[in-house]
Structure 1
Amino acid sequence: MASPITGLLQCDSPAADDEPDEGLDLTAEEEANVLADAAADDAVEPEELPLELLFDGEVPTARSFGLRKLSLEQLGKFVFFDEISVPKRRQACASCHDPAAGWTLRDLKINNGQVAAPGAVPGAVGSIKTPSNAYARNIPLRESCAPSELPCGGLFWDGRAEGNDTPVFGGSTTHIGAEVFKGRATLESLFGQYLGPLADQALQPFPNEVEQNISEKQVCKHVAKSFYSLLYVLAWGEKIDCSPAGFMLSFKRVAVALAAWQSSAEVNSFSSKRDKALAAEIKVEGADVSFPLRGLTDQENRGHDLFYGKAGCALCHDNSPTAPAPDPTTSAGLAAIRRMGLERDQLYTDAVFHNIGVPANPLIPGPEGSLGLGQRRLGDENLRGQHKTPTLRNVDKRPYKSFVKAYTHNGWFKSLESLVHFYNTADVSGATAAGFGITRCDESRSWTEAQALAANCWPKPEENGTLAIGGFFGDLALTLDEEAAVVAYLKTLTDTKTVRPPLLLQ
């Protein structure tokens, strides 16, 4: 028997004119010219441009502290969208983190297939799905966080960009510290807020051979020869130094600029339907605001109540989870639920690491399975399969209606509908799964989402660390209408603003 939600999924095949352009393969001639291009770059001086062009028309009035911060952010924005890679012009940060796709990969065929993003070098590919880089809380990794007492913080699915001076787990990335300020108190007071997991993460993709594949010194030289190099001078108060003794410091400062821009209001716009409806309600009701919001539909408001109540989504997808969730069957419990999720800066993640029992994705390259945080402490079986809870903001943002996104760390799920259905019925021994006729898929073979939905079964979990199935979720007793209401609420978290590259790079 096929899954009852199969016909409800909104993952139609794209029309021909919907399909995005395919990238061009690198020719042998282009490969042969890589070294010659690098040498030629060294002989080019950056263009002199009117200052206002570097700020998208916003002309700073004075060389103040405000100008320094704005210059640092704009430097990060240019670097984020600039195709800084080897081979040249093959990959930028935005290649994997496209604003129009919710800051994830904008490639329908890859989302439907191998899931992991390709690198600048033809044939190079990662081994895990690209996470969103927006609304990435810049909190250092901690080993124990209330109320779950599980690890939280850091960046990457396994938290290895810890943002800590002293690593908490093995395998952490290089940490950027106060050395980037060279003892200058003014710079540290201005830019110290940007040190942490975001800056540590920004160091990693450039030299990674399956990502941008470019050395730290080459990145320094690229920025030094770019037309936006003046932004580095305005921010840091000195020219970028790509000498043997200075390039690494300059590279770290570029990473800090990336962190500054990714922390900005432009990337984290809080411009979703939910945000606008809440702001309008606060304007009328003041401190007495609560759900339902007049700017949301009845279905969306119902989804909110389920999210914080019966479905228990907020146990993980909330800045400050409350456990257990209030009882929605009582008037006091329902009133409490309707006062939840009202924070203007709600990010819909506890930043904690969980194993939700995602099935293995047979299409993703690399070794079978994904240990997540468990890879960093192999002796702790409880950590196997634990991955950081992603934000739900922009979870449904897509460049066009029929665009297919991939969900969870390995991209096994292709729609919010099937993911919510999994949360509802993943416990195949539970009453909810039985009511839907769901069983365990044949464990002797691998399964794609489409195959599992057609057979109305769930595959075994990819990793058997401490599973949340059967505890936090998996037997929620939601009806299909209630599942649809939760999905409707999730879709209200899509930002209405979409960041575009700087005009000079378009």
Structure 2
Amino acid sequence: MKPPSPHWLLMAGIGIAGCYGLAALQARENNAALSPAVSREITRVEADVDQIEAESLKRLAAVPDNEVQRIELLGKLLLFDKELSVNRNEACAFCHMPETGFTGPISEINRTTGAYPGSVRSRFSERKPQTHSYAPLSPALHYNEGQGDLVGGNFWDMRATGRRLGNAAAEQAEGPPVDPTEMALPDIACAVFRASQRPYRALFETVWGAQAFAIDWPANTEDVCSQPGPPPADDPAPVHLNAADRGRAAASFDQMAQSIAGYEASHEVTAFSSKYDAVLAGKAQFTSQEQEGYDLFRGKAKCNGCHRDGGPGEDPLFTDFTASNIGTPANPQLPYYAEGKPDQRGYVANKSGRSFVDLGVGGFLATGHPLSQPSAVDARWQPLSPQNRGRFQVPTLRNVDKRPSPDFVKAYGHNGYFKSLKEIVHFYNTRDVLPRCTQHDPREAVGCWPAPETAENMNKTKVGNLGLSEKEEDALVAFLQTLTDGYAPADRR
């Protein structure tokens, strides 16, 4: 049975920004939509982010001599810096913490909404956070004519293509700072301006050059950067820089993103240190249940068709970097559905309201993602939009079950509909076998499934009727749990 509706409420009243002082307005925005339980967890995560940042800042006293390690340190400091959000309250890491495999760290949000609030706490995006682990190993988005598929990129809809910077993870890092539902800065120059005031400025200049922050900032820059995006339609770059300074700011913003991608590629984030890796190295053995699950993964369950465990010369990344529509139901608990009216600042996150359907890769190819789109759409790919409607990037299964405690809830699927590994495995197994749920059906997720959010281009060959017993489902879950990084000899069983 699916969990009950979350005990948060979006603001019913719509205020006018001019009626409030900035501090009062920010307080109203940031406390409006969140339950006490979620607010407490947000406070805890903010404190954890601060602690990790403080420990990382101590390393500035003895900066590594090695350039790669300098980039990794800089990237970590940027990833854990709350000052890079409009209200100085949300680091990139807020949605990507180590204890969950660099994805969403709040159990109650995962159990309910699936999507996380932004720096403006009453704004939510339409999707759950993906993992940063192994993300830098995705290739730049390209079209494989032989298999008729787009391959690579980052984000659920592949919109961080990597075609401009040659690094999909770096282009992904450029999305959240200016996404109004995430870090909400009104201009990429604001991220650079804020970074120029941080303790890691000297490290940044050591890595990328003294010109990085040699920018003549207007006197009102801080005021501009304290106003949540999106910027006014008639002033899309509200930090008014001359052409040369705008170019420096754009280059430095790229270098911030490249630094973050460098950290994400480090052993600290992308470790290959799971029990599965230990088994491959001959340092551990699967239990009989885990082995049964691996055999099912590669055989009857058909998982390996998309979540590839590698081939000759390949790292086992448990994804083929393509996209698929597995028929995930809509998640009615997404706050995004209620964001169809102007918020206190007049911003409408979801112009489709309750009729919103997430078209995934097809939506990106057709219209882009204008407010948070880090990469341009290749016009030659636009005719591929119809065949990609409803399809989402196949995620890596590495760290798919990493959690700080057994009772911690993780969400799965692009919209966070699924609330456990067992549940999503059961869905893969029975999507086309169990009946459609009726409204408020108590059998949901066990004895029935809702209709897919969209049935367009739905995968009908590898999902839906696998014929697995419950024992086999459990074995598959047991194998997936061996993909959690941080396995140590003491864990052997």
Does 2:374 correspond to 1:375? Answer: no
Is 1:224 aligned with 2:196? yes
Does residue 131 (structure 1) correspond to residue 130 (structure 2)? The answer is yes
* Structure 1 pair 344–162 and aligned structure 2 pair: CA distance change class (3 A): closer
In structure 2, what is the equivalent of residue 384 of structure 1?
389
1:203 Cα offset (Å): 1.1
Q: Aligned to 2:444, which of 443, 452, 455?
A: 452
- List aligned pairs for 1:175-324, cutoff 5 A: 175-176=164-165, 195-214=166-185, 215-241=187-213, 242-243=215-216, 244=241, 245=245, 246-281=248-283, 294-318=284-308
Amino acid aligned to 2:451: K
**2:320 matches 1:350:** yes
Residue 302 of structure 2 aligns with an amino acid whose one-letter code is G
Q: Which amino acid aligns with 1:235?
A: V
Structure 1, gaps ≥5 residues long: 1-5, 12-26, 35-51, 165-174, 177-194, 282-293, 321-340, 429-437, 499-506
- Structure 1 residues 56 and 274: CA distance shift in structure 2, 3 A: farther
Q: How many angstroms does 1:30 deviate by? A: 3.9
Instruction: Report the 3-state secondary structure (helix = DSSP H, G, I; strand = E; otherwise coil) of the residue aligned with 1:311.
Output: coil
Give the 3 Å change call, closer, same or farther, for CA 234–280 of structure 1 in structure 2. farther
Which residue is 1:144 aligned to?
Answer: 144
Task: Name the structure 1 match of 2:462.
Answer: 472
Provide the C-alpha distance between the structure 1 equivalents of 2:69 and 2:209, rounded to a whole number of angstroms: 13
Of 393, 402, 422, 2:407 maps to 402
**Residue aligned with 1:151, SS:** strand
Aligned residues of 2:75 and 2:262 also touching (Cα < 8 A): yes
CA contact (8 A) 2:85 2:91 kept: no
Q: How does 1:50-89 map to 2 (within 5 A)?
A: 55=59, 60=64, 62=65, 67-89=66-88
Question: What displacement does 1:97 show?
Answer: 0.8
Aligned twin of 2:117: 118
State the distance in 2 between where 1:32 and 1:358 align: 37
Contact kept? 1:269, 1:497, Cα under 8 Å: no
Structure 1 position 216, deviation (Å): 2.1
CA distance in 1, matches of 2:362, 2:25: 41
Q: Is the 8 A contact 2:87 2:120 kept in 1?
A: no
Q: Does the Cα contact within 8 Å between 1:145 and 1:152 map onto a contact in 2?
A: no
Task: Provide the rounded CA distance (Å) in 2 between the counterparts of 1:56 and 1:391.
Answer: 33
Q: Matched residues in 1 for 2:445 and 2:178: separation?
A: 40
Q: Distance in 2 between matches of 1:393 and 1:72?
A: 24
Checking the alignment, whether the CA contact within 8 Å between 1:374 and 1:381 is kept in structure 2 is yes
C-alpha contact (below 8 Å) 2:63/2:70 kept by paired residues: no
Deviation at 1:123, TM superposition (A): 0.7
CA contact (8 A) 2:301 2:468 kept: yes
SS at match of 1:302: helix
Radius of gyration: which is bigger? 1
- CA 475–343 in structure 1, closer or farther in 2 if over 3 Å, else same: farther
Q: Distance in 2 between matches of 1:301 and 1:441?
A: 34
Distance 1:203 1:128 in 2: 17
Q: Structure 2 vs 1, CA of residues 86 and 494 (structure 1 numbering), >3 Å: closer, same or farther? A: closer
Task: Give RMSD over aligned pairs.
Answer: 3.0
Which deviations, in whole Å up to 9, do the C-alpha atoms of 1:115-147 show, x marking residues without a partner? 11100013111111111111112311122366x
The residue number in structure 2 matching 1:41 is none
3-state SS, counterpart of residue 299 of structure 1: helix
Equivalent-residue separation in structure 2 for 1:425 and 1:354 (angstroms)? 17
The answer (yes or no) to whether the contact 1:102–1:398 under 8 Å persists in 2 is yes
Q: Normalising to structure 1: TM-score of the pair?
A: 0.69
Distance 1:110 1:88 in 2: 21
Between the aligned partners of 1:310 and 1:134, the Cα distance in structure 2 is: 28
2: CA distance between counterparts of 1:271 and 1:255?
25
**Count of aligned pairs between the two proteins:** 379
Partner AA of 1:210 in structure 2: T
Deviations 1:55-82 (A, max 9, x none): 488763x5xxxx2222112111100011
For the 8 Å contact 1:139–1:196, the answer to whether it is kept is yes
Task: Confirm or deny: 8 A CA contact 1:68 1:234 kept in the other structure.
Answer: no
Question: What are the ranges of 5 or more consecutive residues in structure 2 without an aligned counterpart?
Answer: 4-19, 28-55, 217-240, 338-351, 367-382, 489-493
Any conservation in 1 of the 2:84–2:195 contact (CA below 8 Å)?
no
Instruction: Give the one of 333, 339, 362 matched to 1:363.
Output: 333
